[in-house]
């Protein structure tokens, strides 16, 4: 019986650690992504400033990243910031004045646009995120409509 309790406790702890997802955003104007953690490795692609990615592993001055499509690549840690951004994941996203579907539309944003993720405030509601567009417009979006949160 004690062995089962230890196993259950271990699985619970593992699940809580596994769910702690870390995201970063590209901090340089053109962050290069490589197929290995080395500047002489093959360059895979370049992403714009603000582009979000999930951090899988940190290895010295390098981070292994996963993008929205699931592609894996390595980036220099110095080119990735802890500033949080999200990527619009739907054809057209309505930014709303309140964290609810009845909130008035303050802006419409196209797929693949990067939005700055704002800190959770008093108005926060489950399933909604407060974001800022690069033009300065602030509003609320549904969590299901963006990637990187």
Chain segment 84-123, per-residue pLDDT in tens: 999 999 999 999 999 999 999 999 999 999 999 999 888 8
- Residue among 111, 72, 77 nearest 94 (CA): 111
Q: Which domains does the chain have, with CATH numbers?
A: 15-83 (2.30.30.40), 86-147 (2.30.30.40)
Tokens of 42: 């093959």
114-117 and 85-88 beta bridge pairing: antiparallel
Report pLDDT digits (tens) over 26-65: 999 999 999 999 999 999 999 999 999 999 999 999 999 9
pTM tops 0.75, yes or no: yes
Residues 6+ apart with CB under 8 A from 141: 86, 93, 94, 95, 96, 115, 128, 129, 131
Confidence check: pLDDT of 10 > 60: no
- Whose tokens are 């646009």? That residue is 113
Q: CA-CA distance, 27 to 47, in Å (whole number)?
A: 10
Confidence check: pLDDT of 9 > 80: no
Query: What number is the average pLDDT over the span 135-142?
Result: 96
Q: CA-CA distance, 40 to 119, in Å (whole number)?
A: 37
Torsion of CA 100, 103, 109, 113, to 10 degrees: -40
- Residue 121 is classified by DSSP as -
Confidence check: pLDDT of 13 > 80: no
User: What local confidence, expressed as pLDDT, does residue 68 receive?
Assistant: 94
User: What local confidence, expressed as pLDDT, does residue 125 receive?
Assistant: 87
Look over the chain and give the mean of its residue pLDDT values, rounded to a whole number: 88
User: What local confidence, expressed as pLDDT, does residue 4 receive?
Assistant: 54
Q: CA-CA distance, 99 to 91, in Å (whole number)?
A: 20
Q: What spatial distance separates the first Cα and last Cα of the chain, rounded to whole Å?
A: 39
- Whose tokens are 């981070």? That residue is 63
User: What local confidence, expressed as pLDDT, does residue 3 receive?
Assistant: 54
Query: What number is the average pLDDT over the span 56-83?
Result: 96
């Amino acid at each position: 019986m004690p062995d089962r309790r230890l196993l259950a406790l271990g699985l619970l702890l593992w699940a809580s650690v596994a769910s702690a997802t870390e995201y970063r955003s590209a901090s340089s104007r053109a962050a290069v992504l490589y197929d290995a953690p080395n500047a002489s490795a093959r360059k895979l692609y370049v992403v714009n400033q603000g582009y979000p990615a999930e951090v899988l592993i940190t290895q010295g001055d390098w981070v292994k990243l996963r993008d929205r499509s699931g592609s894996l690549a390595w980036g220099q840690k110095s080119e990735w910031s802890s500033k949080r951004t999200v990527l619009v994941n739907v054809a057209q996203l309505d930014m709303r004045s309140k964290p609810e579907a009845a909130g008035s539309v303050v802006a419409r944003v196209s797929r693949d646009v990067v939005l700055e993720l704002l800190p959770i405030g008093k108005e926060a509601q489950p399933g909604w995120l407060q974001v800022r567009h690069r033009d300065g417009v602030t509003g609320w979006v549904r969590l299901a409509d963006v990637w990187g949160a």
